[in-house]
Structure 1
Amino acid sequence: MTENPQGFWRRKAILAALFIAVVLPAGVVSATAASPEVAWNVTFKLENENKFDAVAPSADGGLIAIGSTLSRTSGKEEDVMLVKTDGAGNQVWLKRLPGMAPASVAAAADGGCIAGVYSVSINETDGGGEYQGTSFLIRLDAAGEEEWREALPGMKVSSVAKTPDGGYLAAGWLWNPAGSENETTGVLLKTDGNGTPIWNRTFPGTAVNTAIVTSDGGYLVGGTSSPFTYDMGDGFLIRLDADGNTLWSRNYQVPVIFDLEETADGGFVYSGNYWYGLVDQDGDEAWARKMEGFTGYAVGIQPSGGYLVAGTNAASGEGFVFGTDADGAILWKMTFPGNRVYAAASVPGGGYVLAGIQFISTGNSTAWLAGITEPGEETEEPVPTATAPGFGAAAAGAALVILIATRYRRG
């Protein structure tokens, strides 16, 4: 999966202190019967505000998460925070990339990673201002040392993936005209193993949020054709062959698609704002399920043949993950008061990792990772839900909901 939650965004942070009564004891993870268990959870911080936007399992059994760190008092722009952990979330290394914003991360075969990041500038004009930016693909080795970086001028990267030939895939959109935020053109870019572009394909009037390599060597991209309003019916999928030629394009009732995964029979499961669904290899819809008020930033496939959807409740601001049967009916659900889920990934050997943000009592936030088991599995040392760190909310207290506006996600 890719990673979780949105593209070029204006950091007009609108803080709404909405106090909501907590109906569970402090630290409790709300769960239905037969839910997975929380195996571990950890947090990371460098400044006042920290979060993870994407996470991926690394080739050596660990995890790589990318997010941001921001000091409210310094007046500086946010920086990228890139963290490598072992399989239980213990830090191996942490890197800070100044003056950049995070988008996505993918594992490399040597235990390192490829990170997709971007920087944004605003050129003041009589009309207010024009957004311009440059994205970068940054290759790091297993020790977190930078090997190379490739600039992608004019592109806002939202998703990166490794291709079978040793190259990389970058998806996102272009700012046009002349850096205007009012129109976007979706783009899919194929590079070689050093990040040098080989070809690109554009999709006018769209924003691409996610892209995957399909089992036949082609590609599938998903996003929206209304990136600033998320209008119903504007979520789309476009399938391409190995050379980037379009095979089919379909729109669905979902306003925006944030994540995709290919199924064993060659179909595709997707998640987005208010909806998740399944299509066949030709893009014809098998079923779609509505989840009113919920945003699914991540989707995955369970060994049972069902699906996993993770994201955030727009009303309460709390994170969730649920599992379904093969027809999309929900079988179990977990919620995380005080946390938001922006990304999720399957972990080799079973289970999943969730990534996002944890709000703390001071009004600050930490970047958060949690490992959960497969449904029915038991942890060797189960996390006591009454005192599990990282899901904090005082029993009689309230959760501070921070609304981060005008952001494509992965928010």
Structure 2
Amino acid sequence: METTTFHYPRRSAKYVILILLLALTIPFFAGCTDRGHRDLTLDTWILKTNSDGSLQWTAFVDGDPNGRGQAMIQTRDGGYAITGTGTNADVNGPVPRIVTLDRDGNVISTMTFGMSPDYGSSLVEAPGGGYVVATYSGFLTRVDEDGNVLWSTSLGGGSDWWKVVGAPGGGYAVAGDTRIVKVGEDGEIAWTAAFETGLNVGTIAAIPSGGFIAGGTTGADVWVARLDAEGNTVWDETLGSRSRDDLYVVRISPAGTYDLVYGTVLDARNETADGRFTETIEASLAADGRLIGERPLNASRVIVATEDGGYAYAGFIVPEFIGLQPQGYPGSPLHVVRLDDEGMVAWDASYDIGDDRSVVSIIRTSDDGVAVLGSVYDF
């Protein structure tokens, strides 16, 4: 299952961990007066809907001061696996973590691995069982069902290894920093496709017939490229506006086009507020990379493509901000919206899940529903 994740700004791994710790501290001091002096943790929550948006269940993963979910997949048995950050008693600081749940949201296992500071940014199931996890610091790690590390491969270069996908014919492809790396089932690097400096790779999808479609940002614009099975660029296109743009998702549509959804910032000089995103655009490219269509799409940055050619997205209404936002607002329910292949609203459901929450990722599920991953401050 494809997952789309809200990412932090590109920085070194240690710097990102410091940002996370600061984010935890601010609401704690702001809430000490009426909540009392207690240890603050950041718990993980999951919300599951059916195909018409009706709530099926919610689940919580708590008890870890470094616990945060970053990405989620549905597993072959109908359950779920989440990667992100957790605590290992033998390591001083946050480390990558995997949490598994059954199809009803009950926690089955929690496993940690790797070094600190780091976190798991994306994961897939391995064919023989267990998981393959891409970490922020630039490692691809294979673990078995018990969390034992079978191999761990350094991807080289800088940080920002956001996305791992299974490769057609076996192995894995990882997108991040300025490169895409193909890794075999044994953890050996098969090839590396390096892009020019300043061209950041944010996401990747496998093409069933072979090769990959990838995208990211370059300066104020977004770009998309098709690669063959050996990592050679077949074509690449740059799209954008006069303002700063941010790529949310790329996909191969049921019609065979390559679609990307990106947001445009009204005020490119203001780098701090998601509320400056005033327009979301879907662009469609032909098999040879030609731009064949664009349309405005009412969506948030936490979005996933659906099997029918539409999308599902999630977020909160925040005063003075345009569109749904990842960070919650007191009294604002979570909204999940399903769009059909024409970009029209199929359903818009709201859920009162409480305050002090943020939404991180959304995935489609095998029963045509969606599952939403988020965080909540536990005072």
Could you tell me the TM-score, scaled by structure 2's length? Answer: 0.72
Residue 70 (structure 1) shift: 6.8
Tell me whether 1:332 sits opposite 2:347 in the alignment: yes
Pairing of 1:204-223 with structure 2 (within 5 A): 204=196, 205-223=198-216
Q: Distance in 2 between matches of 1:313 and 1:163?
A: 38
Residue 189 (structure 1) shift: 0.7
| Change in 2 beyond 3 A, CA 1:328/1:251 | farther
What's the CA shift string for 1:31-74, capped at 9, x where partnerless? xxx95012111111243353211111222322111112479xxx
Residue 309 (structure 1) shift: 2.6
Q: Distance in 1 between matches of 2:55 and 2:175?
A: 32
Larger mean CA deviation between 238-247 and 46-55 belongs to: 46-55
**SS in structure 2 opposite 1:349?**
coil
Q: Distance in 2 between matches of 1:272 and 1:77?
A: 34
Aligned position for 2:120: 102
The answer as to whether partners of 1:270 and 1:299 remain within 8 angstroms in 2 is no
What's the CA shift string for 1:294-346, capped at 9, x where partnerless? 7413312144x432234566746235431112221333223455332222222
The answer as to whether partners of 1:50 and 1:67 remain within 8 angstroms in 2 is yes
**Aligned AA for 1:350?**
D
| Change in 2 beyond 3 A, CA 1:267/1:16 | farther
Q: Distance in 2 between matches of 1:312 and 1:248?
A: 37
Residue 143 (structure 1) shift: 3.8
| Change in 2 beyond 3 A, CA 1:335/1:202 | farther
Aligned position for 1:321: 336
Pairing of 1:84-233 with structure 2 (within 5 A): 84-97=100-113, 98-99=115-116, 100-119=118-137, 135-156=138-159, 157-173=161-177, 186-204=178-196, 205-226=198-219, 231=220
Tell me whether 1:342 sits opposite 2:345 in the alignment: no
Tell me whether 1:240 sits opposite 2:240 in the alignment: no
| Change in 2 beyond 3 A, CA 1:272/1:95 | farther
**Aligned AA for 1:107?**
E
The answer as to whether partners of 1:299 and 1:308 remain within 8 angstroms in 2 is yes
The answer as to whether partners of 1:249 and 1:283 remain within 8 angstroms in 2 is no
Aligned-residue CA RMSD (Å):
2.9
Larger mean CA deviation between 280-289 and 212-221 belongs to: 280-289
| Change in 2 beyond 3 A, CA 1:42/1:190 | same
Q: Distance in 2 between matches of 1:58 and 1:309?
A: 21
Q: Considering fraction of residues, name the structure with more helix.
A: 2
Residue 246 (structure 1) shift: 1.4
Residue 216 (structure 1) shift: 2.4
**SS in structure 1 opposite 2:3?**
coil
Q: Distance in 1 between matches of 2:248 and 2:75?
A: 22
The answer as to whether partners of 2:168 and 2:209 remain within 8 angstroms in 1 is no
**SS in structure 1 opposite 2:185?**
coil
Could you tell me the TM-score, scaled by structure 1's length? Answer: 0.67
| Change in 2 beyond 3 A, CA 1:309/1:147 | same
Q: Which runs of 5+ in 1 are unaligned?
A: 20-33, 120-134, 174-185, 363-411
Residue 260 (structure 1) shift: 2.3
Aligned position for 1:366: none
The answer as to whether partners of 1:51 and 1:357 remain within 8 angstroms in 2 is yes
